[in-house]
């Protein structure tokens, strides 16, 4: 079915949060499609589903979002929100107006990135979630992000095998009438068109995912460090209509040498560091290299929200910035290159192995917000991969880098 037109909020959120927005013909004649969020290598391993009660022009059900057609395909008829509430041990899901569900398909990134593709699922889900959260905020809808759920139960609802494709997060939006008791759901055995002749299996990545599965509602509850926080205000709303920002957004391929005003960098980092309405406490901090920011000495900085840029080490570090982002010159050219850094040991101690998913996802969301804030202010940005150990030793030896974004004016 087409996106529900009587509900501009959901149609807008899906289309501008996760749809295809640009297509380009490659030299060989192949058509390539780009989506509204950034994805490493443009490989888009994340799928998006929607569960809703009966709405004005959409019947109650579970749907898959088709990002190219901008349409929904119904996978299950009937309200599944009470089933979702059970799977995520969170009764608030039963009265959400809509629940968006994100899943990851490993091989789409793993053929290129190997086992490291495991973290790409959460990075890319994060950049998509940054869009979805900002759009929902601008619609005045409450947001509640859940990273803890009984994996097998949620995968069953979505019809996923949990191995080739697995659920990775739920986002509840707004409020509606509360769903009744969970219904018994038959296995979904739907066929989908294969996208590739073969699908390689990456045992290491598979093992990583299996290691952080939660097996019961009790395990979900003990994983949660706090009652899931619901964000009510429009804190993530942008400076101009988000459609305009999202149409302009892309990953910059060339920076100009012009310095960035310090208040623009600070506004970008403040949005990145703003609260995420998640079921676990935040774990990422921002450290970075400043090369060309008006009113700031060059050097290594730590950002303390809401607006303090603390100089840790003065110096000209353009070469190091380029080296740290896997020897890509965009890092050297950028006005500033910031890294989301986490005390991974502490995260794993507090949250168990599941904490790994949460902290990578949080970094993805914060980088997605760096994109939004940059493009809203006439700046440009690109996410980047990096040399893990070298970033740690250069910026903060006790922390591990989760993700990186370079910011500056576009050439």
Ligand X SMILES: Cc1cc2nc3c(=O)[nH]c(=O)nc-3n(C[C@H](O)[C@H](O)[C@H](O)COP(=O)(O)O)c2cc1C
Residues 18 and 129: their CA atoms lie apart, in Å, by: 9
Residues 152 and 135: their CA atoms lie apart, in Å, by: 30
Whether residue 178 is preceded by a cis peptide bond, meaning omega within 30 degrees of 0, is no
Q: Among residues 123 and 323, whose Cβ is nearest to ligand X?
A: 123
Query: What's the min distance (Å) between Cβ of 352 and ligand X?
Result: 24
Q: Could you tell me if 189 and 94 are in contact, meaning their C-beta atoms sit under 8 angstroms apart?
A: no
Query: What's the min distance (Å) between Cβ of 70 and ligand X?
Result: 17
For residue 159, what are the contacts with CB-CB under 8 A and spacing of at least 6? 75, 187, 188, 189, 190
Residues 50 and 157: their CA atoms lie apart, in Å, by: 12
Query: What's the min distance (Å) between Cβ of 315 and ligand X?
Result: 24
Q: Among residues 34 and 387, whose Cβ is nearest to ligand X?
A: 34
Query: What's the min distance (Å) between Cβ of 331 and ligand X?
Result: 9
Q: Among residues 97 and 249, whose Cβ is nearest to ligand X?
A: 249
- In Å, what is the CA distance from 224 to each residue of 232, 256, 276? 20, 44, 14
Query: What's the min distance (Å) between Cβ of 359 and ligand X?
Result: 14
CA 183 to chain centre: 30
Q: Among residues 75 and 340, whose Cβ is nearest to ligand X?
A: 340
Give the footprint of ligand X on this chain (CB under 6 A): 34, 38-42, 123-124, 127, 250-251, 326, 328, 330, 382-385, 403
Query: What's the min distance (Å) between Cβ of 94 and ligand X?
Result: 33
Q: Among residues 199 and 387, whose Cβ is nearest to ligand X?
A: 387
Q: Could you tell me if 402 and 122 are in contact, meaning their C-beta atoms sit under 8 angstroms apart?
A: no
| Helix, strand or coil, per DSSP, at residue 363 | helix
Residues 46 and 170: their CA atoms lie apart, in Å, by: 13
Q: Among residues 32 and 177, whose Cβ is nearest to ligand X?
A: 32
């Amino acid at each position: 079915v087409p996106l529900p037109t009587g509900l501009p909020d959901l149609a807008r959120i899906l289309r501008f949060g996760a749809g295809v927005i640009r297509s380009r013909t490659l030299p060989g004649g192949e058509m390539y499609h780009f989506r509204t969020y950034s994805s490493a290598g443009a490989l888009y391993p994340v799928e998006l589903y929607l569960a809703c009660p009966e709405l004005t022009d959409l019947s109650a059900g579970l749907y898959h979002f088709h990002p190219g057609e901008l349409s929904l395909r119904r996978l299950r008829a009937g309200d599944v929100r009470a089933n979702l509430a059970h799977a995520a041990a969170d009764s608030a899901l039963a009265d959400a107006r809509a629940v968006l569900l994100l899943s990851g398909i490993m091989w789409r990134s793993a053929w290129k990135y190997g086992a490291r593709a495991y973290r790409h699922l959460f990075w890319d889900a994060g950049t998509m979630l940054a869009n979805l959260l900002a759009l929902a905020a601008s619609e005045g809808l409450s947001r509640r992000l859940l990273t803890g759920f009984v994996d097998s139960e949620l995968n069953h609802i979505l019809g996923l095998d949990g191995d080739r494709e697995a659920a990775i997060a739920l986002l509840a939006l707004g409020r509606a009438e509360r769903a009744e008791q969970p219904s018994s759901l038959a296995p979904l055995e739907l066929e989908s068109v294969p996208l590739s002749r073969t699908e390689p299996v990456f045992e290491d990545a598979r093992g990583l995912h299996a290691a952080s599965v939660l097996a019961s509602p009790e395990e979900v509850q003990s994983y949660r460090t706090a009652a899931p926080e619901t964000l009510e205000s429009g804190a993530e709303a942008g400076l101009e209509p988000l459609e305009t920002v999202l149409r302009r957004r892309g990953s910059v391929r060339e920076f100009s040498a012009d310095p960035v005003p310090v208040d623009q960098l600070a506004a970008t980092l403040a949005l990145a560091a703003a609260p995420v309405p998640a079921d676990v406490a935040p774990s990422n901090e921002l450290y970075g290299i400043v090369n060309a920011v008006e009113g700031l000495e060059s050097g290594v900085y730590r950002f303390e929200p809401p607006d303090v840029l603390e100089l840790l080490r003065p110096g000209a570090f353009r070469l190091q910035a380029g080296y740290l982002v896997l020897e890509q010159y965009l890092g050297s050219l950028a006005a500033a290159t910031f890294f989301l850094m986490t005390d991974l040991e502490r995260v794993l101690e507090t949250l168990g192995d599941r904490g790994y998913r949460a902290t990578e996802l949080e970094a993805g969301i914060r980088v997605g917000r760096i994109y939004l804030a940059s493009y809203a202010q006439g700046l440009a940005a690109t996410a980047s991969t990096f040399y893990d150990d070298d970033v740690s030793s250069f910026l903060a030896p006790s922390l591990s880098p989760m993700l990186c974004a370079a910011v500056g004016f576009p050439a």
